[in-house]
């Protein structure tokens, strides 16, 4: 009976969108072809499973201590499977290097593909691609907040070797899974107070990156990406890897540029940057987060920013050139629910964008009818996308509405609550 109601609602919505020239069946086909990369680090508060002694905060901060945190990689993968069962579509998995599973202690500059073999095998079972990130934080070799920009050649050499290893690991993942792995570089290097030398660290960073990227790797296996940041904890006054630095480096060397929605000024929206950058680069990576007054990595909600980002991707016909991943970690709420909320909201944002009659809006703009353009944009906001979303969930055999939360509550009761 309930499914009959959803079908009737969808049929009505399909007719309404057809009046605007939008075929909802075609829209859902397009939506199913857009993967979102789900970040493993939400599941365990960016802890990882390597054995390197005490971890420093490395410029990261996960708040909260919600019960049920996974104690090993198998439990983390179990939690990710639970999340994927509640998320419509086929998506990707995003790993950090500190999620290696060595049989004995292995330093990060010595990591090999074999240390991620269980992740690769599991991803094959899930039918999902893997993305990868070197972990330039939470490690004793982060000296005074510096890695690739360090004046200590031993420190800098350690992290260069880590970067080289990670590209090879990413290439192995891409080759094994038949889908290019995006290996994304972010470093915390910077100064808490005003530096005397802003140039030196950036010169050293450029030299380090040139060495890391010196070996050519088939882009069919691995694609390199660079992620900037405005500031971090302990680097409030200066960050070597700024947006301007990486933008220039990416264009010069034809690397992907990663735009993290939490890594810019709180009033700065990354949606306008997408088309500006894709004039110069073939592809970019997005990390979708939600900063609250600072880069606090809150769970993604369906507010204006992800909707604006999705609109720019769709309006620019960039769905094959923009890679989307999530990047947040919140331990104040159920960790599996945090994945599901963020993933479902990002997919909803993409659906809303795909349901927009973009060609009609462009035609009105070209014809100079700006009144009709604005009026139509506003009317679209109240069209019944929710019933189209429910239909998409039913197509993918995942719960509609708030019913997914009932499954989360069962999982917490039967699985998470039994972890110590």
pLDDT confidence of residue 53: 46
Distances (CA, A) of 86 to 343, 350, 392: 10, 17, 12
Whether residue 372 lies inside any domain: the answer is: no
Average pLDDT over residues 205-228: 98
Active-site hit among 139, 255, 263, 391: 263
* Residue 7 lies inside a defined structural domain of this protein: no
In the numeric block, which tokens belong to residue 387? 């019933």
Which residue is catalytic, options 260, 283, 305, 412? 260
Is 409 a residue of the active site?
A: no
Please give the DSSP secondary-structure letter assigned to residue 297.
-
> Is residue 334 one of the residues assigned to a domain?
yes
Per DSSP bridges, beta strands 238-239 and 190-191 are antiparallel
Could you confirm whether 287 is annotated as catalytic?
A: yes
Is the pLDDT at 279 greater than 50? The verdict is: yes
Among 41, 119, 186, 404, the active-site one is: 186
Look at residue 260 and give its three-state secondary structure: strand
Q: Is residue 358 part of a domain?
A: no
- Choice between 267 and 21, residue whose per-residue pLDDT is larger: 21
User: The domain that contains 235 carries what CATH number?
Assistant: 3.20.20.150
Q: How confident is the model at residue 62 (pLDDT cuts 50, 70, 90)?
A: confident
Q: How far is CA 38 from CA 96, 219, 415, in A?
A: 12, 21, 21
- Which pLDDT tens digit goes with each residue over 127-150? 999 999 999 999 999 999 999 999
- The kind and range of the H/E element at 59 are none
Catalytic residue among 79, 82, 327, 330: 327
Is 1 a member of any domain? no
| Structure token pair of residue 355 | 């349901």
| Cβ-based neighbour number of residue 42 at 10 Å | 28
Residue 14 is assigned to a structural domain of this protein = no
Is residue 174 over pLDDT 80? yes
DSSP at 146: B
Catalytic status, residue 297: yes
Percent of the chain with pLDDT over 90: 92
Distances (CA, A) of 69 to 153, 277, 305, 330, 388: 38, 39, 30, 12, 34
pLDDT band, residue 54 (cuts 50/70/90): very low
The pLDDT value recorded for residue 294 is 83
- Which whole number is the average pLDDT over 339-366? 97
pLDDT confidence of residue 57: 41
Distance between alpha carbon 37 and the CA centroid of its chain, in Å?
6
Q: Is 11 a catalytic residue?
A: no
Alpha-carbon distances of 354 from 56, 89, 233, 323, 372, rounded to whole Å: 43, 15, 37, 16, 20
Q: Residue 90 domain-assigned?
A: yes
Each residue of 287-336: pLDDT tens digit? 999 999 888 899 999 999 999 999 999 999 999 999 999 999 999 999 99
State the distance between the two ends of the chain, measured CA to CA, in whole angstroms: 42
Query: Is the CB of residue 323 less than 8 Å from the CB of residue 132?
Result: no
Average of per-residue pLDDT across 161-190: 98
Per-residue pLDDT tens over the stretch 247-260: 999 999 999 999 99
User: Pick from 52, 95, 40, 45: which is nearest to 68 by CA?
Assistant: 45
Whole-angstrom Cα distance, residue 70 to residue 313?
Answer: 35
Is residue 260 part of the annotated active site? The answer reads yes
The Cβ of residue 55 has, within 10 Å, a number of other Cβ atoms equal to: 16
Say whether 96 sits in a helix, a strand or coil: strand
DSSP of 222-258, one letter per residue? EEEEEE--S-BTTBSSEESS-HHHHHHHHHHHT-EEE
Mean pLDDT of 108-133: 98
For 132, the domain range is 35-350
- Residue 36 CA to residue 14 CA, distance in Å, equals 25
Determine which one of 45, 189, 295, 356 is catalytic: 295
DSSP 312-359: HHHHTT-TTTEEEEE-----SS-HHHHHHHHHHHHHHHHHHHHTS-HH
Residue length of the chain: 420
SS3 49: coil
Q: Give the model's pLDDT for residue 58.
A: 42
Q: Active site includes 327?
A: yes
Q: Which of 287, 298, 307, 323 is catalytic?
A: 287
- Dihedral sign for Cα 353, 354, 358, 361, please: negative
- Of the candidates 189, 224, 297, 390, the residue annotated as catalytic is 297
User: Phi-psi region for residue 41, left (φ > 0), alpha (ψ -120 to 50) or beta?
Assistant: alpha
263 is catalytic: yes
DSSP per position, 149-192: T-S-HHHHHHHHHHHHHHHHHHHHHHHHHTS-EEEEE----EES
70 is a domain residue:
yes
Q: Which of 229, 255, 323, 348 is catalytic?
A: 229
Least confident of 47-51, 97-101, 122-126, 236-240: 47-51
Which DSSP state fits 133?
Answer: E
pLDDT at 267: 86
CA distances from 259 to 237, 243, 309 (A): 20, 8, 11
Distances (CA, A) of 333 to 104, 170, 412: 33, 31, 11
pLDDT, mean over the chain: 95
Domain tally, the chain:
1
In the residue annotation, 186 being an active-site residue is answered as yes
Q: Residue 376 class from Cβ within 10 Å (0-12 exposed, 13-18 middle, 19+ buried)? A: middle
Residues whose CB falls within 8 Å of the CB of residue 190, separated by 6 or more in sequence, listed in order:
145, 201, 231, 232, 234, 235, 237, 238, 239, 240
pLDDT band at 32 (very low <50, low <70, confident <90, very high): very high
């Amino acid at each position: 009976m309930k499914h009959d109601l959803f079908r009737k609602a969808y049929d009505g919505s399909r007719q309404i969108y057809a009046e605007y020239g939008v075929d909802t069946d075609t829209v859902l086909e397009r939506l199913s072809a857009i993967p979102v990369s789900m970040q493993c680090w939400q599941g365990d508060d960016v802890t990882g499973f390597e054995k390197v002694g005490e971890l420093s905060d490395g410029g990261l901060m996960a708040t909260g201590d919600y019960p049920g945190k996974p104690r090993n990689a198998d439990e983390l993968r179990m939690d990710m499977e639970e999340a994927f069962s509640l998320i419509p579509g086929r998506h990707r998995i995003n790993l950090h290097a500190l999620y290696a599973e060595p049989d004995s202690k292995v330093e990060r500059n010595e990591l090999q593909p074999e240390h991620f073999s269980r992740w690769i095998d599991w991803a094959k079972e899930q039918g999902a691609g893997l993305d990868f990130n070197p972990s330039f934080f939470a490690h004793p070799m982060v000296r005074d907040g510096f890695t690739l920009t360090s004046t200590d050649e031993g420190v800098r050499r350690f992290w260069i070797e880590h970067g080289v290893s990670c590209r090879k690991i990413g290439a192995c993942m891409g080759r094994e899974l038949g889908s290019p792995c995006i290996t994304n570089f972010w470093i915390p290097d910077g100064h808490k107070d005003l530096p005397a030398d802003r140039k030196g660290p950036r010169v050293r960073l450029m030299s380090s990156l040139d060495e890391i990227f010196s070996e050519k790797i088939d882009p069919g296996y691995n694609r390199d990406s660079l992620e900037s940041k405005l500031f971090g904890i302990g680097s409030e006054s200066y960050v070597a890897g700024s947006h301007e630095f990486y933008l220039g480096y990416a264009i010069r060397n034809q690397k992907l540029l990663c735009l993290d929605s939490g890594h810019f000024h709180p009033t700065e929206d990354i949606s306008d940057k997408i088309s500006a950058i894709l004039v110069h680069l073939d592809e970019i990576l997005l990390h979708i987060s939600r900063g609250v007054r600072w880069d606090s990595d809150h769970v993604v909600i369906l507010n204006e920013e992800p909707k604006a980002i999705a609109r720019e991707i769709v309006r620019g016909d960039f769905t094959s050139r923009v890679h989307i991943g999530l990047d947040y970690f919140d331990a104040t709420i159920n960790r599996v629910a945090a994945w599901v909320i963020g993933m479902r909201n990002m997919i909803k944002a993409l659906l809303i964008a795909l349901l927009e009659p973009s060609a009609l809006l462009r035609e009105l703009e070209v014809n100079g009818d700006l009144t009709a353009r604005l009026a139509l944009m506003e009317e679209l906001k109240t069209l019944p996308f929710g019933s189209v979303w429910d239909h998409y969930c039913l197509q993918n055999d995942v719960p509609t509405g708030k019913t997914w939360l009932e499954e989360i509550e069962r999982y917490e009761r039967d699985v998470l609550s039994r972890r110590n």
